[in-house]
């Protein structure tokens, strides 16, 4: 008969029980932005279809993008997701080449991705609004 260690947890708490490092959070966010981009493609394809239909459709698509309403916010959010996905993708490609694969470098890479995305978010916000 085997004895069980009574000091180990019976179940792992799901919310708040696991403290992930910033590099892991950045990696999970990379996957989430991929899903957001997949959904955002519908918006981009709609705007492309509208813009290619006629010169008036192009003007309507541009007016819709720069209207300052929720449509502008959706375009901004999709473009920020694209920027994050690109920066995090470059970071992942560098990790495949064993560049920045230490714990300290992974933290620095995650910070760099976040800062670059924040800068792009501000620049895109200025451009769209």
Please tell me the predicted confidence (pLDDT) of residue 19. Answer: 82
Please tell me the predicted confidence (pLDDT) of residue 9. Answer: 62
Please tell me the predicted confidence (pLDDT) of residue 7. Answer: 74
> What is the distance between the alpha carbons of residues 23 and 4, in angstroms, rounded to a whole number?
35
Structural domain boundaries in the chain:
22-128
Model confidence, pTM: 0.83
Contact 90, 49 (CB under 8 A): no
Domain range 22-128, CATH class: mainly alpha
Please list the pLDDT of the chain residue by residue as tens digits (129 residues): 566 666 766 676 666 677 889 999 999 999 999 999 999 999 999 999 999 999 999 999 999 999 999 999 999 999 999 999 999 999 999 999 999 999 999 999 999 999 999 999 999 999 998
Q: Which two tokens stand for residue 35?
A: 């899903």
> What is the distance between the alpha carbons of residues 99 and 115, in angstroms, rounded to a whole number?
19
């Amino acid at each position: 008969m085997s004895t069980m260690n009574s000091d180990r947890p019976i179940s792992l708490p799901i919310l708040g029980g696991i403290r992930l490092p910033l590099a892991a959070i950045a990696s999970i966010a990379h996957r989430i932005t991929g899903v957001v981009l997949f959904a955002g493609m519908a918006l981009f394809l709609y705007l492309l279809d509208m813009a290619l239909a006629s010169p008036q459709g192009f003007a309507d698509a541009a007016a819709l993008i720069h209207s300052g309403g929720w449509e502008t916010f959706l375009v901004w959010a999709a473009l920020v997701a694209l920027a994050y996905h690109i920066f995090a993708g470059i970071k992942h490609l560098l990790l495949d080449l064993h560049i920045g694969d230490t714990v300290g470098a992974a933290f620095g890479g995650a910070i760099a991705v976040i800062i670059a995305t924040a800068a792009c978010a501000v620049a895109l916000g200025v451009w769209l609004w």
